[in-house]
Chains A and B, each alone.
Chain A
Amino acid sequence: MAAIYDNQNIRWNMSIDKQDVQKIAHLARLALTEADADQYQLSLSSVLSLVEEMQSVNTDGVEPLSNPLEMTQRLREDVVTEENRRDAFLANAPQTEAGLFLVPKVID
């Protein structure tokens, strides 16, 4: 399996196969039908073609951009401003018990 995007060493694999599509879907916890996978293989590959085109631009000396806004992060004072709203939050959940959200059993 070729890495699609590798943080340490950015490299792009310009066409993606169906296995790649299924892997991306699995990581995103999406179930794809065969037909879906075919469709996504085409559309994702065309996105990568666009990226390939952009790769030809010379970016020597250009810092990677982490945010398009030319602003910096605002900071919050370290004070507790929120009160306990557990009942309201739990009311949204399909199942709760003893103040806990219940989810299908997970075993590590």
Chain B
Amino acid sequence: MNWEVVIGLEIHTQLSTKSKLFSGAAVGFGAEPNTQTTLVDLGMPGALPVFNKEALRMAVMFGHAINAEIGMTSVFARKNYFYPDLPKGYQTSQMDHPIVGKGYLDVMLEDGTTSRIGITRAHLEEDAGKSLHEDFQGMTGIDLNRSSTPLLEIVSEPDIRSAKEAVAYVKMIHSIVTYLGICDGNMAEGSMRCDINLSLRPKGQKEYGTRTEIKNVNSFRFIEKAIYTEIERQADILEDGGRIIQETRLYDPEKNETRSMRSKEDANDYRYFPCPDLLPVVLTQEYVDNIKATLPELPSQKAARFQSEHGLSEYDANVLSSSRAMADFFENANNVVKDPKLTANWVMGELSKLLNQEQLDIENSPVSAQTFGELLVRIKDNTINGKTAKDVLQAMWDGEGSADAIIEAKGLKQVTDTGAIEAMIQTILDANATQVEQYRAADEDKQKKMIGFFVGQVMKASQGKANPGLVNPILVKMLKG
């Protein structure tokens, strides 16, 4: 059977406010347990929440970035369930009147196609605390530092049709919230978590199949893997004539499998009702417009500008604008080199390779945009060739100094003196008389392939310093005899 996968995502992004959504406690990862809590976060009787202005601003900003309707009147609601890390017995969230209504995102896939993913809504809610299940006298330890941390939950339409599309969408959301500066995007610390709703249906069928929800997946790679394993699991069941049970599942990256988390029949009976402790949040058009005016250049706009202003290909422009840090690095380096294509190739090529090897983000690159640009200038003005430049970059990476200092110290300056190159070529032709004979006897197509041998010899003899742009034409001329 040919199955079509239907995916909808709920992404929880932690807003980077200084204080909590409803209290004046500090927000921060890694503090001593329970040192960032207040009577409100602990759910003490009589303690009343007061809504954080900055969280509101950030949510509205996000709404603008996804072309959404802004909820001019939004209402907080209580989502009721019992869990020890939720001391109030309910999570303050939004239900019928979220702060951000319907919007959409255009997501570009690796093959260059674009698909539009609808966003149903984005609502503000508070995070819960953390349960530590290590053995504390046979009990569970509760840390409420995270309690009442502001979250924006972004709910997509079931518009996603593949794991790749899901990852592209999450990456796009990640890049938007970090561009906007409303979330630090640190997935390892839980600043962005993703719930995956997934079902299968026979290709061509209109009705959706029964879905499962995979909770709290926290890396791009795991999102992709979790989707693949869950598709496989559901397809196996369906092909054996079985039925999918609607349930919450957990992805285990170590075993690369999903497993059932809770199947309590009343798991989703949250009995939402408007929170009597919080009044409706009413916005003025002026407030909403003012926030719109402060929107920075977004990834898609930056990508468009990289194409029009710098003449980059669509693919390069998209890669370079995918993170604000990478876009800034590219633009800063290009300000030095003034050659966008060369800069783009080297940022996406050699630099990204080194960053990947060391698993570093571009923000933490040991080579700055300025010094990287200086290296590229030396390629551009023919002081060194591309091959030598890779070695120079490695030396810069290892902290051996600036590009010019390394070129000088190691004597890597390219040989551009045609006389010297001719002499070098003559020596090589003399030493390889047989190959020269074969070359002269061959037809033109074959010659094109055979010339690589001589180029290699010249580069070897010059220790990579001969300018390939000069070597080639001279070599062809001298081989003709």
| A interface residues (Cβ-Cβ under 8 A, vs B) | 5, 7, 23, 26-27, 29, 64, 66-67, 69, 71-82, 84-86, 89-90, 95, 97-108
Contacts and interface: CB of A to CB of B under 8 A. Distances in A.
Nearest to B74: A73
A78 B142 contact: no
B120 interface: no
A99 B34 contact: yes
B277 to A, nearest CB: 10
B258 interface: no
A80 B279 contact: no
B141 interface: yes
Given A78-B19, A97-B136, A66 B54 contact: no
A42 B55 CA distance: 45
A102 B141 contact: yes
Interface in B40-82: 42, 50-56, 75, 80, 82
Contacts of A98: 33, 136, 141
Given A5-B271, A71-B279, A84-B36, A97 B51 contact: no
Interface of B: 17-19, 23-26, 32-38, 42, 50-56, 75, 80, 82-84, 95-97, 131-133, 136-144, 261-262, 266, 269, 271-272, 274, 276, 278-282
Contact of B37 (A78, A89, A105, A108): A89
Contact of A26 (B18, B266, B282): B266
B53 A76 contact: yes
Nearest to A78: B54
A76 B24 contact: yes
A29 B89 CA distance: 10
B42 to A, nearest CB: 6
10 contacts: A29-B82, A73-B282, A80-B24, A82-B38, A98-B33, A98-B136, A100-B132, A100-B143, A103-B140, A104-B140
Contact of A84 (B23, B35, B55): B35
Contacts of B142: 100-103
B95 A73 contact: no
Nearest to B31: A84
B266 A72 contact: no
A72 B280 contact: yes
Nearest to B23: A82
A84 B336 CA distance: 48
A67 B56 CA distance: 20
A1 B2 CA distance: 36
A106 to B, nearest CB: 5
Contacts of A104: 139-140
A67 B279 contact: yes
Given A66-B75, A98-B136, A98-B141, A7 B272 contact: yes
A74 B50 contact: yes
Contacts of A76: 19, 24, 50-53
B34 A101 contact: yes
Contacts of A29: 82
Highest count of chain B CB atoms <10 Å: which of A64, A76, A99, A106: A76
B266 A78 contact: no
Contacts of B42: 89
A106 B127 CA distance: 19
Contacts of A105: 133, 138-140
Contacts of A75: 50-53, 56
Contacts of A5: 271
B141 A81 contact: no
Given A66-B280, A79-B19, A7 B139 contact: no
Nearest to A90: B34
Nearest to B248: A108
B35 A99 contact: yes
Nearest to A5: B271
B182 to A, nearest CB: 12
Nearest to B281: A73
A101 B35 contact: no
A7 B96 contact: yes
A13 B284 CA distance: 40
Contacts of A90: 34
A86 B141 contact: no
Contact of B141 (A23, A69, A71, A101): A101
B9 to A, nearest CB: 21
Contacts of B131: 106
A100 B51 contact: no
B48 to A, nearest CB: 11
Contact of B18 (A79, A100, A101): A79
Given A97-B137, A105-B140, A73 B269 contact: no
Given A7-B96, A81-B19, A101-B34, A27 B84 contact: no
Given A73-B279, A76-B24, A107-B133, A89 B34 contact: yes
Given A81-B19, A89-B42, A106 B140 contact: yes
